[in-house]
Structure 1
């Protein structure tokens, strides 16, 4: 296949599987590297070098006998480099890789997955979720989350980066679990523990850029990247190259197959630009859906364009819905800076749109915005939108990492919590939100030298106009910034109150709302504004209705008709912050 040819459609081979070190049985391994401009490439294996052979398409390959656990690397025009598709490193991102057969794991339990409409997602950062910050420690807490009603864990990226601390979005070895969290086997055990508790595991993957330290592909395969375009985080990737497409598609299949994951969340797909006749993201979706893994696989996007195209293909189940977040956030905080500005004009009106149509911005003119964004998406199922009140992005990209509960009236935050967990969209909680966490989640990293200085100074410049006199952005490289971001250290009574609230809401969702969702949508949502800051919402299903009354700062102009309620916070007829829910099955 040459550049710009149409890639294979669904039903084609799952992967050409040419990158990295692949076991072929009886101690035999196949090694592959794409370095089309290199003059010589050799395999360095356990201290010895063996020349590799180049194919016409720029791949270098070699078959060799080896044992799992041996160190290896590629020697490219005299420079020894780690395998960009390494399954594990011997140490940091600059040293040799290790031979690991991740597909050889013998799973101790069966897992048939879960339907998407059952998803209640919990976004987790492995490094701060527990004191140990490891897969093994997190595995011990999976049943606790399942008992609350969580049905899906979404891990922030785990692909290896340089250093120990970080969010994971600056990974440079997309196939290798970050060693500070544990080994590949530790990650597999974590997945099995979550699934044993009845929860899916979704992994956040970054296919739009590489991190700034240790991405050697730039040096020996410059063709991997576009010459002129850059993303906000680094050089743009050239997805018209067949080898580049295979690198990431093989990666997606590898995580789903070898780690028994239930899905992937693709970071910032609006930065994946591909003019090919068959877009990379469509091919990736088709190839994943063509897999036969005996369980449903769920692909989620983050796409700030508000485009329904990928969900329309049937290969992607949902997209993160920042419009919902921004509407709730501005309604509760009154903030109007940056991307909040258009939503601060009429946040309750925007929330009406989000609760009825999914996205708010669908290509219409918006207050204070010169450009239009999005296209109509109300034809999508409500489960095509992942709604959230907090995410790592929206909390951690603030200068001081404040959570919503530290910025708004706690009564309003409880109402927003109830609205999120009972509406028929897919709800997502950010780690700690289930217990009303008040500790910040800050931006942290673990860079050295000049890169550390540039990162620190960049954060200071970014937020210089948003801080009060005397405040400073916490140094992202300081260990104490990382430590301050750990949840679950607050007041036990406060956390138990929130834990009980979360448990009751998710029990109601599982027992009463999800069965209606499974019966199928029976028409458009009926969402109206009943007061300056009050909303009434009705979602019709084939077997019943879900009706919510939501006060986010004022009661309705006319008291609602008294009906038996399945859940309440406050008095919806009189209190400025109140919530009630009626789940009404058809008789």
Structure 2
């Protein structure tokens, strides 16, 4: 095989035609590599420059294979497109062209139309069962579903953030073709499909890279999961960027959410990924790139990313709704209404100020449009990172939750819901895994020790009550019972009404929106205003407190929605109320020299 430069080899098994496959493995610490096929063939791979081993051979789709390292260790392909079983089993050659798309004309939807529904595929029963729920979600008014990570992980139940084979859809959820069918069906219903991807670490079980490719990691920098990934190396950088492109091009996902980029100590990687995606995606498609980023780096949203999960907004709302002040809510315990007002008016609550940990957090964000921020009341983290996985429906008065839901769904920020929110589900969402042996014990103890600093779990006996992540019952308890979701209960009627307002009244006005600021009215009340793209003014008056608040309310003819049965006075905002109003045109305030 002729010499090729290091950057021309795509990782893994790539079919070059229906009968031939090229296998490429970056293994700079190996002396000898072979590909072991299921028919018993052992094919030595040819060493190339910069640590690559490559071979092209007769091999069709569906063939199972492994790589053998130095005649000592059989490993799965780190870029496996599918696994026959678990992460330690053989990899499978996949033909990316085998699926016939029914909705090949789909080009996506503009970002301002995003109403995101986050879900866990396993908890919903697999790719096929999720597909069965799509028409219900579309009818409700959802416009996008976001899948928690589906990359192959150890065992058959996991949140997905312990994945070790990022190119392979989780086999316990179904086949690659079933995942494509889910996406295809969603597109036929007008739904975008977004995917949560994890590029900040590999899981602890099934990661063999340290044996033959130590260069994937750098020991001089560590993350909460171990040695940091070394994105300085082009082979490593391409491994993840090619993965992003696979999901967007071969599976036709409409966007990606990059998990915890604050744990990626190389901002240039995120920018490079986004720029290469933009360069290779058909310009006629709507493809959206979003982030989770505790550092609140506004500059990433200025350049090539479309939105960020706004943890600040959630944390302030959670404190206002529940009164909880421990853990990561401690930074929002003092005057949470002011922090919420800053989120609604400027994006982030923390824009460079020093937190309780003694270090500055965030960058100025007031110049960014409201759509750069994804707002939520709940998501997998904010429910599942609780010891008992309780939802807000168990933690705050229902009237207050209704008021907060109106803010979520009618502000110009992009709203995100978590599965079950729409019918007021009371099932918990717990942290679950299916590790075995010593790792199982370590995960169980680590989970319980996370809460040692909480007053409720001060002693070991109290912590022992926290559900074991590895117990099957923990997973079963976390599965929403969709048979218990009546079509017309109070919560569904609320969501349907609010989403109809967003769709029919706000969608067309959202492009070009900008904040006009937010004013604190009381300890749990505020008023926020935005100029929308057509010049109209959207105003939201929110009162999450138990007492009415005196303020001048908008005139009746401009009101779109309020969450209490009746507003009797134009000067009193009732308890647990969100009043949303839209004035026909915006008149700039006079400037004074």
In structure 2, what is the equivalent of residue 286 of structure 1? Answer: 275
Q: CA deviation at 1:280?
A: 1.2
2:342 corresponds in structure 1 to 353
User: Are 1:52 and 2:62 an aligned pair?
Assistant: no
Whole-angstrom distance in 1 between the partners of 2:52 and 2:140:
49
1:311 to 301, 304, 307: 301
Q: Retained in 2: the 8 A contact 1:255–1:261?
A: yes
- Who is 1:488 aligned against? 481
| Structure-1 separation of matches of 2:409 and 2:314 | 13
Q: 2:247 aligns with which of 255, 266, 281?
A: 255
State the match for 1:537 in structure 2. Answer: 528
Q: Post-superposition shift, 1:576?
A: 1.6
Contact in 2 for aligned 1:211/1:234 (Cα 8 Å): no
In the alignment, is the contact (CA less than 8 A) between 1:17 and 1:250 conserved in 2?
A: no
Report the Cα offset of residue 16 of structure 1: 4.1
Aligned-partner Cα distance in 2 for 1:441–1:581 = 31
Which position in structure 2 is the counterpart of 1:97? 91
325, 335, 340: which one aligns with 2:324: 335
Q: Who is 1:69 aligned against?
A: 62
Q: Tell me the equivalent position of 1:11.
A: none
Q: Would the alpha carbon gap of residues 118 and 574 (structure 1) be closer, same or farther in structure 2, given more than 3 Å must change?
A: closer
- Compute the displacement of 1:105 (Å): 2.2
Q: Equivalent residue for 1:569?
A: 563
The Cα of 1:328 is off from its aligned counterpart by: 0.2
Q: List, as ranges, runs of 4+ consecutive aligned residues in structure 1 with deviation greater than 4 Å.
A: 468-471, 489-495
| Residues 230-263 of structure 1 deviation map (CA, whole Å, 9 limit, x = unaligned) | 2112331111111000100110000101101100
Q: How does 1:420-439 map to 2 (within 5 A)?
A: 420-439=408-427
**1:210–1:234 Cα contact (<8 Å) kept:** no
Contact kept? 2:30, 2:70, Cα under 8 Å: yes
Q: What's the CA shift for 1:155?
A: 0.2
Quickly say closer, same or farther: Cα 1:412–1:40, change in 2 above 3 A: same
1:121 matched to 2:113? The reply is: no
2:436 corresponds in structure 1 to 448
TM-aligned CA deviation for residue 53 of structure 1: 1.2
Q: TM-score, with normalisation over the residues of structure 1? A: 0.93
Residues 419 and 138 (structure 1), Cα distance of their counterparts in 2 relative to 1, 3 Å cut = same
Alignment of 1:465-504 (within 5 A): 465-466=453-454, 467=456, 472-488=465-481, 496-504=489-497
Q: Paired residue for 1:579?
A: 578
Query: How far off is 1:560 after superposition?
Result: 2.2
Unaligned runs of 5+ in 2: 1-5, 587-593
Question: Cα deviation per residue 1:139-180 (whole Å; 9 max; x = unaligned)?
Answer: 011011011111111000000111011100000110111111
Say whether residues 1:86 and 2:80 are aligned partners. yes
**Would the aligned equivalents of 1:513 and 1:546 in 2 still touch at CA under 8 Å?**
no
Superimposed CA distance per residue, residues 172-215 of structure 1 (whole angstroms, 9 cap, x where no aligned partner): 11011111100000000000111111110010000000011101
Other-structure match for 1:12? none
Distance (Å, rounded) in 2 between the aligned partners of 1:167 and 1:251: 19
CA distance in 2, matches of 1:369, 1:235: 23
Q: Is the 8 A contact 2:18 2:61 kept in 1?
A: no
> Conserved in 2, the CA contact under 8 Å of 1:512 and 1:583?
no
- CA offset at residue 495 of structure 1? 7.2
Which of 21, 27, 36 is 1:29 aligned to? 21
Q: Which residue of 2 aligns with 1:144?
A: 136
Match of 1:236 in 2: 228
Offset at residue 342 of structure 1 (A): 1.7
Residue of structure 2 in register with 1:555 after alignment: 548
Q: Which moved more, 1:77-86 or 1:104-113?
A: 104-113
Residues matched between the structures, number: 564
Pick one of 400, 415, 440 that aligns with 2:388.
400
CA displacement at 1:375 relative to structure 2? 0.9
In structure 1, the residue matched to 2:373 is: 385
Q: Distance in 2 between matches of 1:370 and 1:566?
A: 43
Moved more, 21-30 or 345-354: 21-30
State the superposition RMSD in angstroms: 1.9
Shift of 1:17: 5.0
In structure 2, C-alpha distance between the alignment counterparts of 1:430 and 1:331, rounded to whole Å = 19
Distance 1:360 1:66, change over 3 A: same
Structure 1 Cα separation of the partners of residues 183 and 410 of structure 2 = 27
**1:506 & 1:38 partners in 2: Cα distance?**
56
Judge conservation of contact 1:42–1:51 (CA < 8 Å) in 2.
yes
Aligned to 2:591: none
Deviation at 1:548, TM superposition (A): 1.1
Find 1:419's aligned residue among 404, 407, 412: 407
Task: Say if 1:551 and 1:575, in contact at 8 Å, map to a contact too.
Answer: yes
Residue 292 of structure 2 is aligned with which of 297, 302, 310? 302
CA change 1:240–1:404 in 2 (3 A) is same
- 8 Å CA contact 1:436, 1:494 repeated in 2: no
Partner SS for 2:34: strand
Which residue of the partner structure matches residue 5 of structure 1?
none
Measure how far apart 1:308 and its partner are: 1.0
Contact preservation (8 Å) 2:526, 2:543: yes
CA distance in 1, matches of 2:430, 2:58: 46
Secondary structure (helix, strand or coil) at the match of 2:550 reads: coil
Q: 1:146 to 1:493 in 2, by over 3 A?
A: closer
1:80 positional shift = 1.2
